[in-house]
Structure 1
Amino acid sequence: MILHRRALLASAGLGAVLTTLGGLTWTLLRQPADGTELTLNDVLYDPDQPVLGNPAGDVTVVEFFDYQCPFCKRGHADLMAEVEADGNLRLVMKDWPIFGGASVLASQLVLGAVEEGAYAAAQAALMATPARLSEDEVRDTLTAAGQDPAGMLAAYRQDRDRWDGLMDHNSQQAAALGLQGTPAFIIGQNLLPGALDRDRLRTAIAAARGSA
């Protein structure tokens, strides 16, 4: 099955690279910079990537996001509500901090919370903010939510190779997929750039289940 990219295929001068994984054929606009092939498995199942929802879910929902992206934050409550209501979705939130230093810091702190079991709570706190954030506002938001930003940063630094490597992977994957910004979703085998309301999200999940 082709990984649909709709508007992205209009990009001029980009050749398609076909990558096959277990019978799945999907089209990439670019190869990663190091020349390696990118497979669907690489995107959905990065071993360093924290997973929300049901880790054994029958459909994986991937979102490339930024903690300062207003459209990411506007749709996050619906996304999480659908994950909870469905019960069989595996959710992968791919940090792609493209809005500057505060976004990078937010990703670092939340990933630093993984080992303490606070990843979901820290992410939810920042995604609930309505606007762009300064670095101080990132720290203040986490503190108000009962988190310890200093401890989170120390934990991130202790495992920096893992987390920086993960964010590098995410950036390379976004480039290979030709993504133009956040949010962008992969649901099953379908790429859906741009924001999704809950109805479109449910439709995409149903389509993924129907094609499984």
Structure 2
Amino acid sequence: MRWLLTICVALLAGFAGAAGWSLSGLGDSRTREYLLAHPDVLPEAIAVLEQQQQQTRIAPLRAQLERPFPGAVLGNPQGAVTLVAFSDYACGFCRRSMDDVAALIAANPDLKVVLREYPILSPASGDAAQMALAAAAQGRYAAFHDAMFRLGPPSPESIAAAAKTAGVTGAGTDDPAIRQELQANAALAAQLGINGTPAWIVGDRMLNGAVGAEALGEAIAAARGATT
């Protein structure tokens, strides 16, 4: 129980600094009393601290995050609001989020969706990601992206079928620029603390998992408001 109280005190102290609360002068005993009397502040404190940490991690990486591999973008390539998605073709939650992204693009004409291929679930994920980036270089990224997810988990057969459906040739999959992109995406994920897919970055916020169109839409609206 003492370790939990220690964490709570640290969180409250951090929240006090983040939110500008005037709690200076509170000793440990009074902090403990405050926490016991107002346990409802802890979720809010945790949320504020997490948001602060996200902003700190995202800010220095924003330009790199929002700059797509040439062609690996959905929606409006010149959009004023950017949604960054770390995705793996073997990820069922990524597949489930496809329709959410399509709905968000339809509802937000100023939305640019930057796809960062992050193949971490299987060797075939890497093969699919390489083909996707080759498709981007051929101007067929959106078609391949859609077909790959629709055809199921990545395998030599499904990758070949998705490429055929999208009109993509296998040429270019061994391009050094593709390997460099995948390495850069892995490095970005590590710096942001991303270890699963899908992961989303929009504005100063990071969301993890298949959070749904509503949560993503709220984050998009908040980012749009911050830029106007």
Pairwise same-fold verdict (TM > 0.5) = yes
Report the Cα offset of residue 183 of structure 1: 0.5
Distance (whole Å) between structure 2 residues aligned to residue 186 and residue 115 of structure 1: 24
1:67 counterpart SS class: coil
Structure number with the higher strand fraction is 1
The reply on whether 1:26 has 2:55 as its aligned counterpart is yes
1:154: which partner in 2?
Answer: 171
1:77 counterpart SS class: helix
Report the Cα offset of residue 38 of structure 1: 5.0
Report the Cα offset of residue 49 of structure 1: 6.5
1:184: which partner in 2?
Answer: 199
The reply on whether 1:126 has 2:148 as its aligned counterpart is yes
1:101: which partner in 2?
Answer: 123
1:80 counterpart SS class: helix
1:201: which partner in 2?
Answer: 216
Q: What are the residue-to-residue correspondences of 1:85-96 with 2, within 5 Å? A: 85-96=107-118
Q: Using structure 1 for the length normalisation, give the TM-score.
A: 0.75
Distance (whole Å) between structure 2 residues aligned to residue 51 and residue 132 of structure 1: 21
Q: Using structure 2 for the length normalisation, give the TM-score.
A: 0.70
Distance (whole Å) between structure 2 residues aligned to residue 47 and residue 107 of structure 1: 12
Report the Cα offset of residue 164 of structure 1: 0.8
Distance (whole Å) between structure 2 residues aligned to residue 169 and residue 48 of structure 1: 14
Largest Rg, 1 or 2: 2
Query: Matched residue pairs, number?
Result: 181
Distance (whole Å) between structure 2 residues aligned to residue 139 and residue 47 of structure 1: 22
2:180: which partner in 1?
Answer: 165
Structure number with the higher helix fraction is 2
Distance (whole Å) between structure 2 residues aligned to residue 113 and residue 42 of structure 1: 21
Residues 91 and 121 in structure 2, CA contact (< 8 A), matched pair in contact too: yes
Report the Cα offset of residue 173 of structure 1: 0.3
Runs of at least 5 residues in structure 2 that lack an aligned partner in the other structure: 1-17, 19-45
Residues 38 and 173 in structure 1, CA contact (< 8 A), matched pair in contact too: no
2:64: which partner in 1?
Answer: 42
Report the Cα offset of residue 154 of structure 1: 1.8
1:55 counterpart (64, 77, 85): 77
1:139: which partner in 2?
Answer: 160
Q: CA RMSD in A?
A: 2.7
Q: What are the residue-to-residue correspondences of 1:49-88 with 2, within 5 Å? A: 50-88=72-110
Task: Return closer, same or farther for 1:146/1:166 CA change in 2, 3 Å cut-off.
Answer: closer
